[in-house]
Amino acid sequence: MTREDWSAELSALAVRHGVPGAVLGVIDIGADQAADRCRVAAHGVINTGTGQPVLPETVFQIGSITKPYTATLMAQAIDEGRTALDQPVIEILGPGVALTADPVASSMITIGHLLTHRSGIDGDLFADTGRGDDCLERYVELLARSTQMFRPGSRYSYSNAAWVVAGRVLEILYGRPWRLVLRDKIIEPLGLTHTSTLAEEAILHSAAVGHTGGPGEPRHPVDHWTLPRSIGPAGLINSTAAELLAVAAEHARDGGRLLSPAAAASMRADYGANPPGLQIEGHQGLGWMVGRWQGHEVFGHNGLTVGQSAYVIVVPSLRVAVCLLTNGPGAANLWFELRREVLADRGLTVPPSTLEPTGTEADLAPWLGRYGRVGERIELVRSETGYRALIEEDIDLGDEPETQELELHPVRDGLWAGRSAGQLSWTQFRVGTFTDAELPPTSPPADRRYLYAGSRINHVLS
């Protein structure tokens, strides 16, 4: 027998980790939607300023879990013969459109590169290009000045910008704004009533507000609610736990009402390894991150927006999916523990992290220096006790830059790990040197050293 109610565990762990509000969803996946059995546990408040309670049907921002939705739309378009994974993107966007400042690389980027984080487009440009239906088109125009991080297809680096491009491609293929393609091909076919992309749609329901606050500090509501509309295809969907799990269930049913079995399988196919330390060790699918635990295929994604975090994982062979939606700091620790407990109840052990430090000595001296990309600067320095990473994140959302200093611990072969105070999971820092085959075609960096921080690659800064 499996657990029916996780309310007590959710509340106890949410309080321990300082999460103001959260919803945990667990779905037993049936042969069709009518046979699904979804249970939801709610905790806390949607806003510490008002004290309104979180409800099972409260809407949260699911952030980058939007990417598998956009990938689903593209898989549908491929099924319909509108495009293909190997089609160059500029063939669809039209003449005169450049995806980066490197013209050769821009011409090489394919639909598949966009959906697997292998485009090399510098990824965290959060430019606000307005609320009109032309916001994606205007966003893509900005990319002509962006840095090409590596030769398309040669490496992995998480890129929000690439997913905005994918959304713009869908607009051209279907002749409608991305959000309406989403409505026509996912929201309405599945009968979703609380899934949307705009704030004015979300506030028709109980809607969670993000919060800030450091370890042990009070949680305060954020001063703005959502990401710019231009980021839509990469991270703008709002949903409930039950409706997020309804979408996940269709994927576990080999596409269900959304995709052909072949298209669903293509979304979980192996398009190359992820850097270590992501949510699920294994490989990158189309949107989904995919792995294999004790012989079971697992796939899922995480999402992070303005003070909100979301998580989903699916185990098709066990006919189960789990999600967690939250509105404040401490969410990663909460998911770390809840995911482990819920899946253990189904007989599946979450594998241990591959980032546990070994305690061995290693030399980081050849890679000391400053690295960066859009929205982040990292300096690797020597300290009295070893090595440290000095990090400044400055995503263009109107906030003050966030800084932190992490002690780095060697793991293996150029891989280091660090974590901030109170965190249960480690972040990877991998150093290396670009090969000739990995350099951007017409704009190679002067210094071939690179630094992966988490899932994003950084160049040496002069």
| Residues annotated catalytic, as ranges | 64
Asked if residue 428 lies in contact with residue 412, where contact means CB atoms within 8 angstroms, the answer is no
Residue 363 has phi, psi (to 5 degrees) of -110, 115
CA distance 218 to 205: 26
Antiparallel, parallel or unpaired: β 402-412 and 415-418: antiparallel
SS (H, E, C) 165-217: HHHHHHHHHHCCCHHHHHHHHHHCCCCCCCCECCHHHHCCCCECCCEECCCCC
Give residues with Cβ within 8 angstroms of 95, minimum separation 6: none
DSSP state of 242: H
Q: Which two tokens stand for residue 375?
A: 């929205």
Looking at 212-276, list the stretches that DSSP marks H as alpha helix, in order from N- to C-terminal side.
232-235, 241-252, 261-267
Max alpha carbon distance in the chain (Å)?
61
Contact call for residues 85 and 78 (beta carbons, < 8 A): yes
Write the CA distances from 36 to 27, 120, 243, 245, 253, integer angstroms.
7, 40, 12, 10, 11
Gap between the Cα atoms of 227 and 389, Å rounded: 28
Query: 390 forms bridges with which residues in the sheet?
Result: 379, 405
